[in-house]
């Protein structure tokens, strides 16, 4: 995926927060969503800051998936070459504000990252993650605003 961004990324981011049947929390509202914001991936001391756009969906049962994403340069170069892998990314809400996005993987000019799980914070439709390590020697950060506002609800 495009830097880190994987990151949501993700972005969502991010999106794709899914609840299992036994989970006390799930995503809302049902339907398609987008997520826009900034992400960054760092590997071997090289950072790739990007503007991110994610797409996703939330099922009527509150399961979310990140289904796609694209990236543009944001102070660096190479973001357009970031590619999300293993889509869709599924996630599970853990608390009223925390979730995990599973199997996040992306390719980028600074190297491949993932697959790994991305813990996120979600509040008021904004998904954030900061300096989260992913397999491949990567660290990812991001702040993604969803539309409509995707929330974690009981």
| Residues 100-135 pLDDT 10s | 999 999 999 999 999 999 999 999 999 999 999 999
**Residue 53 CB partners (closer than 8 Å, separation 6+):** 34, 35, 36, 69, 70, 71, 72
pLDDT at residue number 23: 45
pLDDT band for position 9 (cuts 50, 70, 90): very low
Cα 109 to the chain's mean position, in Å?
A: 19
Residue 81 has pLDDT above 70, yes or no: yes
pLDDT at residue number 8: 42
d(CA 9, CA 42): 13
Rounded average pLDDT over 4-20: 39
| Residues 52-78 pLDDT 10s | 999 999 888 787 899 999 999 987 789
Whether cis (ω within 30° of 0) applies to the bond prior to 29 is yes
pLDDT at residue number 2: 40
What are the CA-CA distances from residue 92 to residues 15, 23, 84, 98, 145 (Å)? 10, 8, 19, 9, 18
| Average pLDDT score over the chain | 86
Of residues 72 and 17, more confidence is placed in 72
Count the alpha carbons within 13 Å of 151 in the hemisphere toward its beta carbon: 8
Block residue for tokens 């409509």: 148
d(CA 93, CA 103): 15
**Residue 38 CB partners (closer than 8 Å, separation 6+):** 49, 50, 51, 52, 74, 142, 143
Residue 49 has pLDDT above 50, yes or no: yes
Does domain 26-153 fall under CATH 3.40.710? My reply is no
Rounded average pLDDT over 81-85: 96
Per the CB < 8 A criterion, the answer to whether 2 and 136 are in contact is: no
d(CA 72, CA 75): 10
- The answer to whether the predicted template modeling score (pTM) of the entire model surpasses 0.75 is yes
pLDDT at residue number 153: 93
Rounded average pLDDT over 8-35: 63
């Amino acid at each position: 995926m495009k830097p880190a961004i994987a990151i949501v990324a993700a972005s969502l981011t991010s999106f794709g927060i899914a609840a299992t049947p036994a989970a006390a929390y799930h995503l809302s509202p049902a339907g398609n969503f987008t997520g826009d914001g900034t992400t960054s991936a760092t590997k071997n001391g090289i950072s790739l800051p990007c503007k991110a756009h994610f797409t996703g969906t939330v099922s009527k049962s509150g399961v979310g998936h990140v289904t796609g994403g694209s990236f543009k340069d944001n102070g660096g170069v190479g973001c357009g070459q970031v590619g999300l892998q293993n889509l869709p990314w599924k996630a599970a809400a853990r608390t009223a504000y925390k979730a995990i996005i599973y199997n996040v993987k992306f390719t980028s000019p600074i190297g491949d990252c993932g697959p790994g799980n991305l813990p996120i914070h979600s509040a008021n439709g904004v998904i954030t993650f900061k300096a989260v390590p992913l397999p491949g020697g990567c660290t990812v950060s991001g702040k993604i605003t969803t539309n409509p506002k995707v929330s974690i609800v009981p």
